[in-house]
């Protein structure tokens, strides 16, 4: 790659206007290029790994995005104060904010992103679709909300500004349209400062296909490769892969997609890394959705299949470098899953708290380092490998202020099925203690027959559900291992297990909670060995490892005890247990019918008043936490007897929001 003599920019120090995983990812490439790095961080993020890994860090007082990572003036000021000469926005936050990009440029800094006009052109989805239609890119016809007819249903209500699933609603009944438009508009206004929404035809079983674009300042536009990101929850991606199974199946589709993506980029004079997103049907027809004028969360699968470092290319293009005429060909297959701190079985509610332990792969990994080391581009593009791009490590706090994604785990290999199998196995063996995640869900997806044959449209969860909970027998066996490990930890100098008796006696008892279920564990240790429910024999026990023979099969259970939590990992699965206290503190009890906050967050709407009669399942309150909106519904028919919150109020997890009593 050569650098043009037309106003080349020399970059020596870069501030990353972001946090977590993407900040660490950009820092890694910057260090490899010999650049110094600057982080900005909120108060809540002061001890997060990305702050420690930067050469310098500037505190942005406050916790919420509006006070910190969305405050462009403070970020530009931080860059100047720290001596940075470039700003990389990452993804999310201000990455697609034309005003911020202009402010960076006006300050004399190099903007590691596309031209301001290109960002503005794609900032409104309504205007972007008009531009794309004029450029010859296929689009879905825009529907005016007030004129939608029953024949056009279902429709998708979408926010004109922003993305990430915010301000989106699927409407199947005409009588629901007005209410859903109002709700989508309110959410869009809160998230993006713009409540404009529009409607388009909804493809219930569409495929989400996107093309990675890289363009330089000299007119070269690459279509680097396509990705499929169809498995989504709440319109947010969970599994991403390259190449697309659908595109692989339809011979002409890739060339047509690439041509449309290059037309889209050329139409707005695009420079840098970007993604053109399309919605496709099973026949290979596709329609423009939006263009993300930034690096995409799922960019690693493109890097793994091309050997490129897209962040390095961003720096090069921003410095004035020329791209070669053609991008490298893709090789093999890569799959990425997003590990979220959330509960898929409970309406995807996010989880917060301390992440006691986090490790994926053959060794405990740190940040965006891969299992093969700190290199981004492998020595051989045919070697199977695992990569972990993480924003957390042992001891990290997962706060309620930001997105629930903890890490991205990526596997690469020559064959899609082998890659899915490898990734599922590595995730199943991962150590993730302290915060509930979607780990079991993504393992289930990767092993699902529909996924393995490439049947991965956007209705995947509606068709197949969200997996199955861990079998009750596995939970009970894991709880027994936890009880035996606890007993082993209380052994004195003589190696005799707690509860051991020479003669028959009362069993040892221990109780653990998983979700709403309580598991009572009773066992005795005698001269003849372990006496417990089932055909189970104790082989060995220590405070952190118990070996049991279950129905003649020997298994090891790794046990980690923390304050108020016990995590048990085995080949049967990972189980998190909460020890149940023998005597309940009366101060911790709440009245029957209480609606408690499932997470810290902000009350954004209150739909009832004291004295209102409500029905079971009726939405009463709406919370916003970790970039998602959550509905708090009535637990039963009754009357609102207490209402302890109002719109705009911050609440902590476990706070009693309201109480619904019986009808008088």
Residues that are catalytic: 294
Q: What is the dihedral of CA 117, 122, 125, 126, to 10 degrees?
A: 40
Q: In sequence order, which residues have a C-beta less than 8 Å from that of residue 537 and are 6 or more positions away?
A: 529, 530, 548, 549
Tell me the two tokens of residue 571. 């080949």
Residue 638 · residue 650 · CB < 8 Å: no
Instruction: Show the CA angle centred on residue 411, arms to residues 409 and 412, nearest 5°.
Output: 150
Give the ranges where 356-438 is alpha helix by DSSP (H).
416-428
- Determine the Cα–Cα distance for residues 240 and 24; give it in Å rounded to an integer: 20
What long-range pairs does 617-620 form, CB within 8 A, spacing at least 24? Answer: 620/595, 620/658, 620/660
Query: Pick from 141, 137, 139: which is nearest to 263 by CA?
Result: 137
92: Cα within 13 Å, side-chain hemisphere:
20
Using CA atoms, how far residue 644 sits from 543, 625, 647, in Å, is 44, 18, 11
Q: Which residues pair with 276 in a beta bridge?
A: 211, 291
Q: Residues 128, 134, 135, 140: is their CA dihedral positive or negative?
A: positive
310: phi then psi, degrees, rounded to nearest 5: -65, -30
- SS3 assignment for 262-311: HHHHHHCCCCEEEEEEEEECCCCCEEEEEEECCCCCCHHHHHHHHCCCHH
């Amino acid at each position: 790659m050569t650098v043009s003599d037309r106003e080349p920019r020399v970059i020596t120090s870069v501030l990353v206007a972001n946090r977590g995983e993407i900040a660490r990812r950009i820092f890694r490439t910057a260090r490899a290029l010999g650049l110094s790095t600057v982080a900005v961080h909120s108060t809540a993020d002061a001890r997060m790994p990305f702050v420690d890994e930067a050469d310098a860090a500037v505190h942005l007082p406050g916790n919420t995005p509006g006070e910190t990572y969305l405050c462009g003036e403070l970020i530009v000021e931080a860059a100047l104060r720290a001596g940075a000469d470039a700003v990389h926005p990452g993804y999310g936050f201000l990455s697609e904010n034309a005003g911020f990009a202009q402010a960076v440029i006006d300050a004399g800094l190099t903007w590691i992103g596309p031209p301001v006009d290109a960002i503005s052109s794609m900032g409104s989805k309504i205007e972007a679709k008009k531009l794309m239609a004029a450029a010859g890119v296929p689009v879905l016809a825009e529907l005016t909300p007030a004129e939608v007819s029953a024949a056009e249903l279902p429709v998708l209500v979408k926010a004109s500004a922003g993305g990430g699933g915010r301000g989106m609603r699927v409407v199947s009944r005409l009588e629901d349209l007005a209410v859903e438009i109002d709700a989508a508009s309110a959410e869009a206004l809160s998230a993006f400062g713009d409540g404009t929404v529009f409607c388009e035809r909804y493809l219930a079983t569409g495929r989400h296909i996107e093309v990675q674009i890289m363009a330089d300042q000299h007119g070269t536009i690459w279509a680097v490769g396509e990705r499929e990101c169809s498995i989504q929850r709440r319109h947010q991606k969970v599994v991403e892969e390259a190449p697309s199974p659908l595109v692989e199946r339809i011979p002409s589709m890739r060339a047509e997609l690439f041509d449309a993506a290059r037309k889209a980029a050329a139409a707005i004079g695009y420079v840098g890394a970007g993604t053109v997103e399309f919605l496709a049907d099973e026949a290979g027809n596709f329609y423009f959705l939006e263009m993300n004028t930034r690096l995409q969360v799922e960019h690693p699968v493109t890097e793994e299949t091309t050997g490129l470092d897209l962040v390095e290319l961003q720096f090069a293009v921003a410095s004035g470098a020329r791209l070669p005429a053609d991008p490298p060909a893709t090789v093999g297959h890569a799959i990425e899953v997003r590990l979220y701190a959330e509960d898929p079985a409970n309406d995807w509610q996010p989880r917060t708290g301390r992440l006691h332990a986090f490790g994926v792969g053959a060794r405990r990994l740190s940040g965006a380092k891969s299992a093969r080391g700190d290199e981004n581009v492998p020595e051989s593009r045919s070697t199977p490998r695992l990569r972990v791009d993480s924003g957390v490590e042992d001891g990290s706090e997962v706060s309620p202020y930001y997105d629930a994604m903890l890490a991205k785990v990526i596997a690469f290999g020559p064959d899609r099925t082998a890659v899915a199998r490898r990734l599922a196995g590595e995730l199943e063996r991962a150590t993730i203690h302290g915060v509930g995640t979607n780990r079991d869900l993504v393992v289930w997806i990767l092993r699902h027959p529909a996924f393995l044959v490439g049947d991965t449209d956007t209705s995947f969860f509606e068709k197949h559900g969200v997996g199955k909970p861990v079998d009750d027998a596995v939970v009970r066996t894991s709880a027994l291992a936890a009880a035996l490990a606890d007993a082993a930890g209380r052994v004195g100098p003589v190696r005799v297990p707690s509860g051991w008796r020479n003669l028959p006696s009362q069993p040892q008892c221990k109780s653990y909670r998983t979700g709403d279920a309580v598991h009572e564990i009773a066992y005795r240790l005698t001269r003849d060995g372990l006496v417990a429910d089932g055909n189970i024999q104790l082989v060995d026990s220590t405070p952190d490892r118990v070996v049991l023979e279950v129905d003649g099969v020997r298994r090891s259970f790794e046990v980690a005890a923390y304050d108020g939590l016990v995590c048990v990992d085995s080949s049967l699965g990972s189980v998190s247990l909460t020890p149940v206290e023998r005597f309940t503190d009366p101060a911790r009890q709440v009245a029957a019918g209480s609606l408690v906050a499932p997470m810290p967050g902000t009350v954004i709407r209150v739909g009832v008043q004291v004295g209102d009669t409500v029905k079971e399942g009726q939405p009463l309150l709406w919370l916003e936490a970790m970039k998602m909106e959550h509905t708090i519904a009535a637990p039963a028919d009754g009357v609102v007897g207490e209402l302890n919150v109002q719109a705009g109020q911050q609440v902590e997890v476990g706070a009693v929001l309201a109480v619904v009593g019986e009808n008088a």
